Amino acid sequence: MITKKIQKRLFGTNGVRGITGKELTPELVMKIGASLGTMRKGRIAVGRDTRTSGRTYINAIKSGLLAAGRDVVDCGILPTPALQYLVKEQFDGGAMITASHNPPEYNGIKIIEPDGTEMGDEETLKLERLIFDEPFSTHTWDHIGHDLNAPRLIEKYITAVANHFTGKPGRGMTVVVDPGSGPACITTPRILSLMGCNVITINCILDGTFPGRLPEPSEEGLQNLSSLVVSSGAVFGIAHDGDADRAVFIDEKGQFVEENQEFAVVAQHICRQSKGTIVTPVSTGQIVEMIAKKENCPITFTPVGSIYVARTMLSLIDQGEHVIFGGEGNGGLIFPDHQFCRDGGMSAAMMVLILASTGKKLSGLVKQLPKRHIIKDKIVTPQGEKILEALGVFYSQNPIDRTDGLKVFKDDSWALIRSSGTEPILRIIIDSEKRETGIAFHEELKQEIQKIVQ
């Protein structure tokens, strides 16, 4: 069972994204709200990240929803997983105004289903038809929806995450949190404090101009966090992306933990608690499959995108499979006991539990993982599909996986070549045991692509 990707007109893998005032306008957002309000009944929760354009778009989406007759509850500034949790618990749908890790000039929308997952491809296509092709309904004066502000609902999310971890496992631990001026300023430090941690923060004032660092938690952007971890003697540092569904870690020595290694450390811990399936996209590092195998847990691969991971987890569970963990190799981890979406607050809390229960240092947990080498590259070309087809022929003697793009296995390595759905870009990931074989595979691919586009 593998979910297949469907190409859409407006929505990408993680909702709508665009530059404020260019691709994304209040008119478009209002239309999306009215279309969503036509498609979904009941009470819709809305929220936003800290971007300066968030106020405009939250009002636009509310306007559309209210005109379509929906009752709207505005949860204010909060992480995407917090809104997803609230929708799952008490609403009939949701819309989050966020551009996640994109720079400050961007904004976007993620649509949330009643079960708290992001809207899947099939439903998104129906929503797009309403936005583009069919008149959505706007109601007369006696059927306009009601709106309510509920900024304190976020407390329910904080408590729900902390309640998964009883007995204050963080007692005696100092941790440093870098929410990057995003909505996790008001959640992750609180969650970790409730777990007993001594919490130090950096970039922890809500600010949509992102004065401390960009919303993408890249290694280069986390130098200040890294220094603070070392100088404060913290057990780790954690940083979120702009809507806190992802979390990345700095170990106690100030070293950035590569996201596939983060996934593997958490997967190992979860596999040791109970046996079951791990779900992840084909782009995730080989290290995760190696850990799952070692711990006797099966792994199921999906197309790239957290929504495919979440939906596959749900459908495997429907089929009676025991699914213990899911996520992506970018710091987006899904804990099925909590909810079926990436949750940065949960990832932070889980790392505290892992350190407490193993008694090990984060650097030590990373060091004992198998060693792999990853090369990431992107090629700007409008001929993505042609290249994929020709490479499929060139590597026809090799084992190939076509879950998303082309994944070619060769000796101790694999290469994933995917065409971006929204830009004229071909993305390449090579994962190898030895550095030299990865480099050679990369060179071979570049040469072949060169020949194809000539």
State the catalytic residues: 100
Contact 329, 285 (CB under 8 A): yes
Q: Which of residues 230-289 bind Mg ion (CB under 5 A)?
A: 241, 243, 245
Q: Which residue has the closest beta carbon to Mg ion?
A: 100
**Shortest distance, position 395 Cβ to Mg ion, whole Å:** 33
Q: Which is nearer to Mg ion, 243 or 252 (CB)?
A: 243
Q: Check: CB of residue 342 under 8 Å from CB of residue 246.
A: yes
**Residue 404 in the binding site for Mg ion (CB under 5 A):** no
Return the number of the residue (243 or 259) whose C-beta is nearest Mg ion.
243
Q: x/- site string to Mg ion, residues 200 to 239, per CB under 5 A?
A: ----------------------------------------
Nearer of residues 169 and 332 to Mg ion, judged by Cβ: 332
Tell me: does residue 100 bind Mg ion (CB under 5 A): yes
State the nearest-atom distance from the C-beta of 343 to Mg ion, in Å. Answer: 11
Q: Based on CB atoms, which residue is closest to Mg ion, 19 or 230?
A: 19
Question: Smallest distance from the beta carbon of 225 to Mg ion, in angstroms?
Answer: 18
Alpha carbon 19 to chain centroid distance?
Answer: 20
Q: Reading across the β-sheet that carries 247-251, which strands appear in turn?
A: 198-201, 174-178, 236-240, 247-251, 256-257
CB of 245 to Mg ion, least distance (A): 4
**Which 3 state secondary structure label does DSSP give 170?**
coil
Cβ-based nearer residue to Mg ion, 274 or 422: 422
- The interface region with Mg ion, picked from 83-91, 97-105, 166-174, 370-378 by CB under 5 A, is 97-105
Residues 341, 308: contact at Cβ < 8 Å? no
User: Considering CB under 5 A, how many residues would be counted as binding Mg ion?
Assistant: 4
Residues 6+ apart with CB under 8 A from 179: 185, 188, 189, 201, 203, 204, 239, 240, 244
Helix-strand-coil percent breakdown of the chain, rounded to 5? 40, 25, 35
Using CB under 5 A, which residues numbered 359 to 378 contact Mg ion?
none
Do residues 151 and 76 lie in contact, with contact meaning Cβ atoms separated by under 8 Å? yes
Q: What residue type is 119 in one-letter code? A: M
12 burial type by CB count under 10 A (0-12 exposed, 13-18 middle, 19+ buried): middle
Least separation, in Å, of the C-beta of 49 and Mg ion? 9
Q: How many CB atoms lie within 10 A of CB 221?
A: 18
Per CB under 5 A, which region of 36-44, 99-107, 179-187, 370-378 contacts Mg ion? 99-107
* Residue number, 100 or 117, with CB nearest to Mg ion: 100
Cα(407)–Cα(429) distance, rounded to whole angstroms? 9
Are 36 and 69 in contact by the 8 Å Cβ rule? The answer is: no
Q: Residue 424: which H helix or E strand, with range?
A: none
Q: Which of 26, 28, 27 is nearest to 9 (CA)?
A: 28
Select 241 or 258, whichever has its Cβ closest to Mg ion. 241
Distance (Å, whole) CA 389 – CA 395: 10
- Which lies closer to Mg ion via its Cβ, residue 100 or residue 286? 100
Residue ranges in 44-83 that form contacts with Mg ion under rule CB under 5 A = none
* Integer Cα distance of 103 and 242 in angstroms: 9
Cβ count within 10 A of residue 168: 15
Closest contact distance (angstroms) between CB of 411 and Mg ion is 35
The residue among 304, 352, 305, 346 whose CA lies nearest residue 325 is 346
Q: How far is the CB of 188 from Mg ion (least distance, A)?
A: 14
Report in angstroms how near the CB of residue 99 gets to Mg ion at its nearest. 9
Query: Under rule CB under 5 A, which residues in 332-361 are in contact with Mg ion?
Result: none
Cβ atoms 344, 245 nearer than 8 A: yes
Burial tier of 295 (Cβ tally within 10 Å: 0-12, 13-18, 19+): middle
80 touches 96 (CB < 8 A):
yes
Q: Which stretch binds Mg ion (CB under 5 A): 92-100, 220-228, 436-444, 445-453?
A: 92-100
Q: Does 187 bind Mg ion (CB under 5 A)?
A: no
Residues making contact with Mg ion (CB under 5 A): 100, 241, 243, 245
